[in-house]
Amino acid sequence: VDATTAAAHTAGDAATNGEQIRQGQRVKLFLGYAGLAQAQFMSFLQWDVTGRRASNSGLTWQVTCQDMQRLLDKTVFLDWTPEKPGRSKTDLISMMLAFILSTGTGQNKDPAGTQYDVLGEDDALGIPWQAVDIAAAEALRTSDFSTTTLDISVTGPTQGKAFLEEQFLKAGGMYTFVNQSGVYSFKKYRAALAPASVTAILDETDIIDWQGPEDGPIINEFVAEYDFDLPSKPNDYGIRVRYLANDSIKAFGRRQPFVISSQALKTASGGAAIVDRLALDVGRRFATSLPVQVLRVTVPYRRHTLDIGDLVKLRHTQIPNPVNGRRSVYDAVFEIIDMTPQHGAVQERPEEL
C-alpha cells in the first residue's frame, strides 16, 4: 500500500533506514528453531499488518498482525429493505465469489481470471483477490456445483461473515480456512474415503504425543428453511422442513439441530433437491452409530506440509481404538480440522471420517 520495495529478512537481520511496515501491508511469517536451516522453516500464514509500536529505546518495533478473516467483519446490504429487496440469480460459486471480491470498481480481479467484481461496494466484502483462493472455489464449481443455482433475495443490512456462512457455505456443505500461504480457501465436506485412496500417513515415527480420542459432535436433526421472500410469503420462508436420523436419536437422544435458513435456495431452482442432499451428507457424517472421533496429535516439523482439510491415515499401536476397546489403530482415516504450531513441533487435530 506504500509502494515500498518488498524485502525479506532472516533472524537477526538489522532493519535499514527507509524500510517501512505500515497498516494494510502483508507480511509472511516463517517459524523454526535453533539448529534448523531457515529454508526448512514452517510457512506460518500471511498476515495483514494492523498496527506498529516502537519500543521505549527506539531500537525495536512491535508489529501487530491479523489474518485476513478480519476483513469479513463488515456490514453489507445497507441500501436494501423489505420494500426494496436486492435480488440476484446465478450459480453458487460465482455468486459467492462476487460477494467476497466485489468493490464496486470492477478492478478487484486477477488480470488473467474471471471478473467477479460485479456488485456494489456496500453489497460485498471487497477482499483483495490476491488473498482469496479463487482457483479452489472454481474447482469446486466444476466438481460439485456446475448445476447448483442460487436465487437470492436480500431485504436488509446484515453482517457479512454470517451471511457468507449461512447463505453460501452451508448451502454448499463447504467450509473455509486460511491456508499456510495466507490465502482464504475453500473445501467441501466429503464422505469417508477408503484407506487405499488416502496417501498421507501418520505413524509412530511421526507422532510424538496425543490426546484422545474423544467423541465429536452428533447431529441427528437437520432443519432447512428456504423459498424466501416469494410473492406468496414476502420477507419470510415459504418452506420449513425437518429431517431426523431415527437410529442415532434412539442411541444418543435428540441433539441440537443443524439449521440452514437460506435466502438463496428456491424450489424453482432445484432447492428441494439441494436440501435433500445436504441432509443426507450431514447424516452420513455426524449421525453414525459411533460418534465422530476427535484426536489431537503432536508431530515434528517434517510433517508440516499437511493443511486443514487434508486426509491422513493413522497407524499407532498405543492409541486407543474406540471401535473394539483395545489399543492400536491401523489405517483409520482422519481429516485435519485444526493445526497449532508449537516450538519444535506442530499439534494437529484430526477428526475421524
Per-residue pLDDT tens over the stretch 230-287: 999 988 999 999 999 999 999 999 999 999 999 999 999 899 999 999 999 999 889 9
Nearest-5° Cα angle at 352, 351 to 353: 120
pLDDT digits (tens, 9 = 90+) for 125-180: 999 898 899 999 999 999 999 888 899 988 889 999 999 999 999 989 999 988 77
CB of 327 within 8 A of CB of 321? Answer: yes
Half-sphere exposure of 232 (CA within 13 A, CB side): 4
Provide the percentage of residues in the chain whose pLDDT is more than 90.
49
Instruction: Provide Rg for the chain, Cα atoms.
Output: 23
pLDDT digits (tens, 9 = 90+) for 20-40: 777 777 777 777 777 777 777
- SS3 (DSSP) at 254: coil
Instruction: Look at residues 209, 189, 130, 234 and name the one whose alpha carbon lies nearest to residue 351.
Output: 189
Query: Is the peptide bond between 213 and the residue preceding it cis, with omega within 30 degrees of 0?
Result: yes
pLDDT digits (tens, 9 = 90+) for 197-221: 898 899 998 898 999 899 999 999 9
CB of 288 within 8 A of CB of 192? Answer: no
CB of 115 within 8 A of CB of 106? Answer: yes
In the prediction, which pLDDT does 7 show? 64
Where b means 16+ CB within 10 Å and e means fewer, 193-214 reads eeeeebeeebeeebbeebebbe
The set of cell numbers assigned to 235 is: 420477507
**Who's near 151: CB < 8 A, 6+ residues apart?**
87, 88, 89, 264, 265, 266, 268, 269
pTM for this model (two decimals): 0.79
Residue 9 has pLDDT above 50, yes or no: yes
Residue 46 has pLDDT above 60, yes or no: yes
Give percent helix, percent strand, percent coil of the chain, each to the nearest 5.
Answer: 20, 40, 40
Chain-centre distance for alpha carbon 142: 19
**What distance in Å separates the CA atoms of residue 72 and residue 163, rounded to the nearest whole number?**
10
